[in-house]
Amino acid sequence: MRTDLAYAQALDAADPLASFRQHFIFPDPALIYLDGNSLGRLPAASPVLSRHIVEHTWGDRLIRSWNEGWFDLPERIGAKIARLIGADADEVLVADSTSVNLFKLAVAALRHQAGRARILTDDLNFPSDLYILQGAIDLLGRGHRLEVVPSPDGIHGPAQELDAALDTDVALLTLSHTVFKSSYTYDMAALTARAHAAGALVLWDLSHSAGSVPVDLHAAGADLAIGCGYKYLNGGPGAPAFLYIRRELQEALHNPISGWMGQANLFAFGLDYAPAPGLRRFLTGTPPVLSLALLEAGVDTLLAAGMPALRAKSLQQTSYLIDLWETHLAPLGYTLNSPRDPQQRGSHISLGHPEGLRIARTLIDELNVLPDFRAPDNIRLGIAPLYNSFADIHTAVQRMAQVVAERLYERQATSAPVVT
């Protein structure tokens, strides 16, 4: 494959999604932003929507806005996210944070699976997911055990080993669909089927796949899922998360954080909690209206582009990046820390280097390229097909080569800042 800039520009000229760049704000057009897998760019519609929410629905309509749409936001925007992840409108809610939603669903699942003690996950899962599971085990006090199955190489998920570990004592299998470091993406349907054959429930974290990888929860037979709103959904920092519960399970599971918004009759003010029917029982407190409403702009843009087109471009762009790595970066000591198989990866690529931290800092501080870094050596390049161009990728690779060839990273400290 050609690796010159003219070829990248030709790919951009032929890109059917190129017009979607105008749906985002670029304060610094020269910045190459490759961190959409951590925080998505600001949709152009969001400032306008924010002004409307603050000045009109809050400033003008005041408390009347609860009856004019605020109460319905968790379900209405959840129904739009459902279209991105292969679910029905009444199976997805927007609420709380990813961690809180994981806690709710994990505890509900473990209580439902009485008599089973094992929880299976892998060592590629996001660490805070494990922290939440450990806390849930301590809180329940029923002798549950969290078993972390190791990856064979730190890149690929241990699918065969997880399969072998499934038995009639497994209550819950919970994994990141696309893992945060390497971008490895599980075959959701295959692993879910194996777990169900053993009688286990399955909970998927979609934080790195929703909006970047085609997800079909129905086709996979998934039981439960969670995901964040601030990565590929472009909801902004602190955007609320979402949760999914298969319709057949909704009445059988019980929210462990019962609260006012999840009760059957909000204004009866009874002293004994009675859960709402269906999924709404998994709401707890008052929704964060401002940030929740802003999530809609990013979700609408994804729906307009369509997941098949987004995935096609993502696969083309990640493959292009790997070709550039092989030609320009591998000779300089960079390693590919993501799967080569396009069907096994999401929309970010991790490249390793012994000086990865200092390279990332040099790119950010001196060369106007914004990736992120994950220990021990991963420089993550998050490609968001809605707004990243092929020229972005080409230029970023050239600057990564420059940092090593000219040893520019030696000017950086070896200690890590709080956020990389």
Q: Does 205 qualify as catalytic in the annotation? A: yes
Give dist(CA 413, CA 109) in Å, integer. 46
Q: Does 88 qualify as catalytic in the annotation? A: no
Residue 181 CB coordination number (10 Å): 22
Burial bucket for residue 293 (CB in 10 Å: 0-12, 13-18, 19+): buried
Catalytic residue among 41, 380, 387, 399: 380
Give dist(CA 308, CA 315) in Å, integer. 11
Name, in order, each residue with C-beta under 8 angstroms of 4's C-beta and a sequence gap of 6 or more: none
Phi, psi dihedrals of residue 382, rounded to the nearest 5°:
-90, 115
- Is residue 233 a contact partner of residue 208, using CB atoms and an 8 Å limit? no
Could you give the count of Cα atoms lying within 13 Å of 105 in the half-sphere of its Cβ?
Answer: 33
Burial bucket for residue 252 (CB in 10 Å: 0-12, 13-18, 19+): exposed
Catalytic residue among 122, 205, 372, 392: 205
Alpha-helix runs per DSSP H in 306-337: 307-324
Give dist(CA 236, CA 243) in Å, integer. 18
Give dist(CA 336, CA 334) in Å, integer. 7
Q: Does 104 qualify as catalytic in the annotation? A: no
- Strands 369-370 and 92-94, by their bridges, are unpaired
Q: Does 28 qualify as catalytic in the annotation? A: no
Nearest C-alpha neighbor of 16 from the set 346, 384, 387, 309: 309
Catalytic residue among 33, 180, 184, 230: 230
Catalytic residue among 116, 118, 194, 231: 231
Q: Which tokens belong to 391?
A: 């020229």
Phi, psi dihedrals of residue 361, rounded to the nearest 5°:
-65, -35
- Is residue 372 a contact partner of residue 366, using CB atoms and an 8 Å limit? no
Q: Does 123 qualify as catalytic in the annotation? A: no
Name, in order, each residue with C-beta under 8 angstroms of 268's C-beta and a sequence gap of 6 or more: none
Sheet containing 378-382: give its strands across.
335-336, 348-352, 378-382, 372-374
Residue 242 CB coordination number (10 Å): 31
DSSP structure string for 217-228: HHHHT--EEEE-
Q: Which residues are catalytic?
A: 126, 205, 230-231, 380
